[in-house]
Amino acid sequence: MRNRITIDAPRHEVRVNGKEVYLRPSEFEILNILVAQNGKYLSRLDIIYKLGKTDEDIDAHTVTQHICRMRKKLPRGAIRTVPEYGYRFIG
């Protein structure tokens, strides 16, 4: 059975198979950015800029840490990686 991920942006809620999953505000923002790309890959730098930050405000390692925490909370395979490039949301 495929896991169903539901995102309620106005309420800042994420549910997996109907059960609420807590994401930190930055994690929630990154998830929304990835979902909006409709399966296209984004580099860490692309994510930083879409967050409205510069690489002086937040670095690529921080994005990687957020993704790592998100993967522990979301179903396996929901976020895919292209080594040395970036991420995409599969959901």
Look at residue 60 in the predicted model and tell me its pLDDT: 85
Phi (first) and psi of residue 46, to 5 degrees: -60, -45
Residue 87 has pLDDT above 90, yes or no: yes
Look at residue 16 in the predicted model and tell me its pLDDT: 94
pLDDT tens readout for residues 1-33:
578 899 999 999 999 999 999 999 999 999 999
Say what the pTM is: 0.89
Q: Is the dihedral of CA 82, 83, 85, 86 positive or negative?
A: positive
Output the 3-class SS for 69-82.
HHHHHCCCCCEEEE
pLDDT tens readout for residues 23-68:
999 999 999 999 999 889 999 999 999 998 766 778 888 999 999 9
